[in-house]
Structure 1
Amino acid sequence: MTNQKKNTATLIGIGTAVAVLIACGIALTNNIGKSTREISEEDALKKMDKLLKNVTVTETTPRKATVDFSGSDLANSLPDINTYPLTITGNGEIDIEIFVSPEKAGTGSDGWMIETAKAFNSQNLRTTDNHTMSVSIRNITSGTGSDYIVSGKYLPDAYTPSNTMWGTMAVSNGADLHMISEKLAGNVAGILISENMVKTLSSDYGDINIETITNASKDGKIAMGYTYPYTSSTGLNFLVSALHSFDNANPLSNTAVENFQQFQANVPFVCYTTQQMRNAMGSGSLNACIMEYQTYVNDPSLQKSYQFIPFGVRHDNPMYAVGNLTTEKEQVLQAFTDFCLSSEQQENAKKCGFNQMESYHSTEPEFDAVTLLNAQKLWKEEKDSGRPVVAVFIADVSGSMIGDPLNRLKESLKSSSQYIGSKNYIGLVSYSNDVQVNLPIGEFDLNQRSYFTGAVEDLSASGATCTYDAVLQGIKMLEESKSAIPNAKPMLFVLSDGETNLGAKLRDISDIVDALNIPIYTIGYNANLSELTELSAINEAASIDADSEDVIYKLGSLFNAQM
Structure 2
Amino acid sequence: MKKVINGVISLALAVSLTACSGVKTGNSTLDNALSYDDAVSELDTFVKDIKPTTVSPRLDVDMSEASVADSLADIDTFEIMLTGSGSINIEIAAPSEFSGSSYPDEWLVAVGQNFNKEGYTINGQSVSVSIRKISSGETLTYITEGGYKPDVYIPSNYMWGDMLNASGVNTTLLADRLAGNTAGILLSQDVYDTYSEKHGEVTVDGVLQAAIEGDLVFAYTNPYTSATGMNILCSMLHSFDPSDPLSENAVSKLVEYQNNAPTAAYTTSILKASAEKGIINAMVMEKQTYINTADLKNYVYTPAGVRHDHPAYAFSWTEGDRLEAAKMFIDYCLTDEAQKMATDRGFNLDDDYVSEDYGMTGSDYLSAQKVWKTNKNGSRPTIAVFVTDISGSMNGTRINSLKESLLNTMQYIDSSNYVGLVSYSDDVYINLPVAKFDNTQRAYFSGAVKDLNVGGQTATYDAVLVGLQMLLDAKKDVPDANCMLFVLSDGAQNAGYSLNRITPIVGGLGISVYTIGYEMSDSDKAQLKSLSEINEAVCIDADSEDIVNELRNLFNVNM
TM-score normalised by the shorter chain: which range applies? Answer: over 0.9
Within-5 A mapping of 1:420-431: 420-431=413-424
1:462 maps to: 455
Partners of 1:33 and 1:510 within 8 A in 2: no
C-alpha distance after superposition, 1:326-345 (max 9, x if no partner): 32112211111111111111
1:551 maps to: 547
Structure 1 residue 53 displacement after superposition: 4.1
C-alpha separation in 1, matches of 2:172 and 2:226: 22
1:17 maps to: none
2:191 maps to: 197
Within-5 A mapping of 1:412-451: 412-451=405-444
Within-5 A mapping of 1:326-365: 326-365=319-358
1:43 maps to: 38
Partners of 1:187 and 1:294 within 8 A in 2: yes
Counterpart pick for 2:8 among 25, 45, 51: 25
C-alpha separation in 1, matches of 2:369 and 2:272: 23
1:534 maps to: 530
Counterpart pick for 2:262 among 246, 256, 268: 268
Q: In the alignment, residue 29 of structure 2 is paired with which amino acid?
A: K
Say whether residues 1:172 and 2:166 are aligned partners: yes
Partners of 1:29 and 1:536 within 8 A in 2: no
SS at match of 1:262: helix
Q: Aligned in 2, Cα 1:534/1:290: closer, same or farther, shift over 3 Å?
A: farther
Counterpart pick for 1:522 among 515, 520, 535: 515
Say whether residues 1:98 and 2:92 are aligned partners: yes
2:29 maps to: 34
Structure 1 residue 360 displacement after superposition: 1.0
Structure 1 stretch 84-93 or stretch 310-319: which is displaced more? 84-93
C-alpha distance after superposition, 1:336-375 (max 9, x if no partner): 1111111111010011111111111123336311221111
Partners of 1:224 and 1:266 within 8 A in 2: no
Within-5 A mapping of 1:487-498: 487-498=480-491
Structure 1 residue 497 displacement after superposition: 1.1
Structure 1 residue 30 displacement after superposition: 9.7
C-alpha separation in 2, matches of 1:365 and 1:103: 24
Partners of 1:98 and 1:156 within 8 A in 2: yes
Partners of 1:29 and 1:537 within 8 A in 2: no
SS at match of 1:349: helix
Say whether residues 1:64 and 2:64 are aligned partners: no
Partners of 2:462 and 2:496 within 8 A in 1: yes
Structure 1 residue 408 displacement after superposition: 2.2
Within-5 A mapping of 1:5-154: 25-28=8-11, 34-66=29-61, 68-72=63-67, 74-106=68-100, 107-127=102-122, 129-151=123-145, 153-154=147-148
1:213 maps to: 207
C-alpha distance after superposition, 1:38-74 (max 9, x if no partner): 32211111221233344241111111113645323x2
Q: In the alignment, residue 45 of structure 1 is paired with which amino acid?
A: V
Q: In the alignment, residue 413 of structure 2 is paired with which amino acid?
A: I
SS at match of 2:261: coil
C-alpha separation in 2, matches of 1:537 and 1:497: 17
Partners of 2:475 and 2:481 within 8 A in 1: yes
C-alpha separation in 2, matches of 1:23 and 1:365: 37
Structure 1 residue 147 displacement after superposition: 1.3
SS at match of 1:208: coil
Aligned length: 541
Partners of 2:385 and 2:419 within 8 A in 1: yes
CA RMSD in angstroms comes to 2.0
Q: In the alignment, residue 126 of structure 1 is paired with which amino acid?
A: T
Q: Aligned in 2, Cα 1:311/1:244: closer, same or farther, shift over 3 Å?
A: same
SS at match of 2:355: coil
C-alpha separation in 1, matches of 2:214 and 2:493: 40
C-alpha separation in 2, matches of 1:360 and 1:30: 30
2:17 maps to: none
C-alpha separation in 1, matches of 2:401 and 2:465: 25
C-alpha distance after superposition, 1:254-290 (max 9, x if no partner): 2211221122122222111112221222222111111
Q: Aligned in 2, Cα 1:562/1:467: closer, same or farther, shift over 3 Å?
A: same
Structure 1 residue 76 displacement after superposition: 4.0
SS at match of 2:50: coil
2:290 maps to: 296
C-alpha separation in 1, matches of 2:235 and 2:127: 40
Partners of 2:80 and 2:130 within 8 A in 1: yes
Q: Report sequence identity in percent.
A: 43
Partners of 1:34 and 1:510 within 8 A in 2: no
Structure 1 residue 28 displacement after superposition: 4.2
4+ residue runs over 3 A deviation? 21-24, 27-34, 67-70
C-alpha separation in 1, matches of 2:421 and 2:301: 44
SS at match of 1:412: helix
Structure 1 residue 548 displacement after superposition: 1.3
2:21 maps to: none
C-alpha separation in 2, matches of 1:69 and 1:271: 31
Q: Which runs of 5+ in 1 are unaligned?
A: 1-13, 15-20
Higher RCO (CA < 8 A, seq sep 6+): 1
Structure 1 residue 451 displacement after superposition: 1.2
2:502 maps to: 509
C-alpha separation in 1, matches of 2:65 and 2:43: 41
C-alpha separation in 1, matches of 2:57 and 2:551: 23
Structure 1 stretch 313-322 or stretch 21-30: which is displaced more? 21-30
C-alpha separation in 2, matches of 1:346 and 1:23: 33
Q: Aligned in 2, Cα 1:389/1:41: closer, same or farther, shift over 3 Å?
A: same
Say whether residues 1:314 and 2:314 are aligned partners: no
Q: In the alignment, residue 234 of structure 1 is paired with which amino acid?
A: T
C-alpha separation in 1, matches of 2:236 and 2:517: 35
Partners of 2:28 and 2:507 within 8 A in 1: no
